C-alpha cells in the first residue's frame, strides 16, 4: 500500500513538474507592432522630412559658462563618514576633485572636436530627430557588413568612439569589415525624446529598424549593451528576418522559465555552469544583497523619474555624482573601499564627456523614463517570453550587472553560437575594454557567418 502511494505520488509530482515546465516554457504570441507610430509633438504632418542631415557637436560658450558658474558656486558637500570611502555612495572628496577637473581642466572645445572626428547625422524617424554616427570602412577587398551599435544609460553613441576605429579597419584573418551606425536612443545624447507616454525599449526597436532601412540596410548585425541590448533583443524577436546576427555584452533572458532556472541552479550549480563562475550568481543570498545595495536608482527611475530629474537637471554637481557613481560600481563593484568607487577604470575625459553630453542636451529625464516605460506595458513582457532564432553571441565581462550561464541564456537565444566570459572588464565595455570588445565582435560574426552557412 505504502509503495503504491509513493509510486502514484511520484507520478503526480512528475506530472505537475512537467506541466509547470511546459507552461513556463510556452512562448507568448507576438504582439502587434506599429512601425509608423508617431512620437513627435502633435499629429503626423502630411509631408514628413525624411532627409539625412549632417550634424556637428558643439558645446556652446553660454552652456559652458553657465555650467562652470554652477560648479564654482556649489555648496560645500557633506564629508564622508570616518573610515568610509564609497560604501555610502559617491565619495564627496573625490567628487570635488572630479568637479574641479570638469570646471578647470576639461577642454570642452577639444573634446567636441574629438567627438566630431566621426561623421555625425540626424534624421527624423516617427516624429523624433535621431542622432547617429555613421562610419564606412576605408580600403577595398573586404566584404562590408552593416553593424548597428546601441548603448545604454546614462550613455550615448559617444560610448563607442574608441571601438569604432577598430571595427571599421580591415583586420588580418577576417574576410569582412564593418560599416558602423552608432545611434543615440530616443531621449539620450543628441536624439530627441518624446512627450508622449509609451516609448518602451520595444517601441524604440521600431525606430531603429526604420533608421537602418532609411540608410539602405534591410539586413544587418547589431552590437549592444544595457538598454541597447534590450532594444536589440526585442528586434531579434519581432523582426528576425532583418537581423543577421546579434552580439551583446549584456546578455539576458527574461523568460519566466529562466527565473525558475536561477532557483534550480542554486541547488546544483556545478551541473549547469563552469565552477569558476558560480560565484557570479550563487549563493542567491549574495546576489540578492548586491542587487538590493545597487538597484535603488533603478527602482526610482522605474517609478518616479521626473522627480529625481528635477534635481539632476538643475545641478551639474548632482548629475555628476548620481551618474558617475553608477558608472564606477558597474566598472568594478569590488572597489567601494576606494574613494573613486571604480571610476578610475575609465579615462576621466571619457567620464566627463558622458556627463557633459547629458547636461548639454538636458536629457537626464528623458533618458531615465526608459526605465519606467520598460515596466509599464504588457507587450514588453510578452516579447520577453518569445524565444529568438537569430544567431547570437554573448560576452560576459567580470563586473557586468547581470550574469547568466548559457543554460539560462538559451531559453531566449535558441542559437547561441558563441559565449565568452572574462575575468576583467565591466558594464561600459566599449569605453573600458574596447580592444577586447572589438575582437569578440569580429570573432563572433565569423562564427555567425559559419552558422548561417551550415544551418
CB 396 within 8 A of CB 421: yes
User: Longest C-alpha distance within the chain, in Å?
Assistant: 88
427 is catalytic: yes
Angle at Cα 33 formed by Cα 305 and Cα 254, nearest 5°? Answer: 60
Whole-angstrom Cα distance, residue 342 to residue 332?
5
Q: What single string gives the DSSP state of each residue in 235-246?
A: HHHH-TTTEEEE
49 is catalytic: no
Q: Could you tell me the three cell numbers for 377?
A: 506595458
Which residues 6+ apart lie within 8 Å of 103 measured at CB?
A: 67, 68, 71, 72
CB 210 within 8 A of CB 191: no
Whole-angstrom Cα distance, residue 420 to residue 400?
13
Angle at Cα 212 formed by Cα 372 and Cα 406, nearest 5°? Answer: 60
Which position among 120, 340, 377, 427 bears the catalytic label? 427
The length of the chain is 455
Is residue 445 classed exposed, middle or buried when 0-12, 13-18 and 19+ CB atoms within 10 A define those classes?
A: buried
What Rg, from alpha-carbon coordinates, does the chain have? 23
Q: State CA 370 to chain mean position distance.
A: 11
Q: Could you tell me the three cell numbers for 252?
A: 539576458
- Grouping H, G, I as helix, E, B as strand and the rest as coil, residue 53 is strand
**What sections of 296-347 are H helices per DSSP?**
296-303, 305-314, 316-331
131 is catalytic: no
Which position among 184, 226, 353, 440 bears the catalytic label? 226
Which position among 220, 371, 403, 422 bears the catalytic label? 371
- Catalytic (active-site) positions: 226, 371, 427
Amino acid at each position: 500500500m505504502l509503495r503504491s502511494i509513493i509510486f502514484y505520488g511520484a507520478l503526480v509530482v512528475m506530472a505537475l513538474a512537467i506541466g509547470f515546465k511546459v507552461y513556463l516554457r510556452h512562448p507568448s504570441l507576438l504582439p502587434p507592432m506599429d512601425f509608423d507610430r508617431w512620437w513627435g509633438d502633435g499629429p503626423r504632418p502630411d509631408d514628413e522630412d525624411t532627409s539625412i542631415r549632417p550634424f556637428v557637436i558643439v558645446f556652446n560658450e553660454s552652456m559652458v559658462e553657465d555650467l562652470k558658474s554652477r560648479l564654482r558656486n556649489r555648496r560645500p558637500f557633506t564629508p564622508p563618514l570616518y573610515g568610509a570611502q564609497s560604501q555610502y555612495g559617491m565619495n564627496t572628496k573625490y567628487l570635488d576633485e572630479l568637479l574641479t577637473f570638469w570646471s578647470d581642466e576639461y577642454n570642452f572645445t577639444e573634446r567636441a572636436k574629438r567627438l566630431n572626428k566621426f561623421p555625425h547625422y540626424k534624421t527624423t524617424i516617427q516624429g523624433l530627430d535621431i542622432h547617429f554616427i555613421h562610419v564606412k570602412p576605408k580600403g577595398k577587398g573586404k566584404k562590408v557588413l552593416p553593424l548597428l551599435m546601441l548603448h545604454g544609460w546614462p550613455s550615448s553613441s559617444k560610448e563607442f568612439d574608441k571601438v569604432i576605429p577598430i571595427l571599421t579597419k580591415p583586420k588580418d584573418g577576417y574576410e569582412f569589415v564593418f560599416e558602423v551606425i552608432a545611434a543615440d536612443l530616443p531621449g539620450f545624447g543628441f536624439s530627441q525624446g518624446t512627450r508622449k507616454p509609451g516609448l518602451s525599449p520595444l517601441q524604440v526597436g521600431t525606430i531603429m529598424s526604420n533608421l537602418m532601412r532609411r540608410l539602405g540596410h534591410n539586413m544587418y548585425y547589431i552590437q549592444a549593451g544595457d538598454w541597447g541590448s534590450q532594444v536589440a533583443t526585442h528586434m531579434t524577436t519581432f523582426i528576425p528576418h532583418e537581423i543577421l546576427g546579434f552580439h551583446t555584452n549584456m546578455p539576458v533572458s527574461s523568460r519566466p522559465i529562466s527565473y525558475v532556472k536561477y532557483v534550480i541552479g542554486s541547488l546544483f550549480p556545478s551541473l549547469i555552469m563552469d565552477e569558476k563562475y558560480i560565484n557570479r550568481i550563487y549563493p542567491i543570498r549574495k546576489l540578492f544583497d548586491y542587487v538590493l545595495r545597487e538597484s535603488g536608482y533603478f527602482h526610482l527611475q522605474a517609478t518616479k523619474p521626473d522627480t529625481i530629474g528635477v534635481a539632476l537637471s538643475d545641478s551639474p554637481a548632482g548629475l555628476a555624482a548620481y551618474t558617475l557613481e553608477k558608472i564606477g560600481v558597474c566598472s568594478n563593484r569590488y572597489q567601494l573601499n576606494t574613494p573613486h568607487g571604480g571610476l578610475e577604470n575609465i579615462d576621466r575625459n571619457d567620464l566627463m564627456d558622458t556627463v557633459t553630453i547629458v547636461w548639454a542636451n538636458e536629457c537626464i529625464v528623458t533618458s531615465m523614463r526608459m526605465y519606467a516605460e520598460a515596466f509599464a506595458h504588457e507587450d514588453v513582457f510578452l516579447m520577453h517570453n518569445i524565444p529568438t532564432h537569430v544567431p547570437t553571441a554573448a560576452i560576459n565581462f567580470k563586473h557586468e550587472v547581470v550574469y547568466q550561464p548559457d543554460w539560462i541564456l538559451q531559453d531566449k537565444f535558441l542559437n547561441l553560437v558563441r559565449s565568452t566570459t572574462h575575468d576583467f572588464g565591466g558594464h561600459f565595455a566599449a569605453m573600458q575594454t574596447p580592444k577586447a570588445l572589438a575582437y569578440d565582435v569580429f570573432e563572433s560574426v565569423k562564427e555567425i557567418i559559419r552558422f548561417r552557412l551550415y544551418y
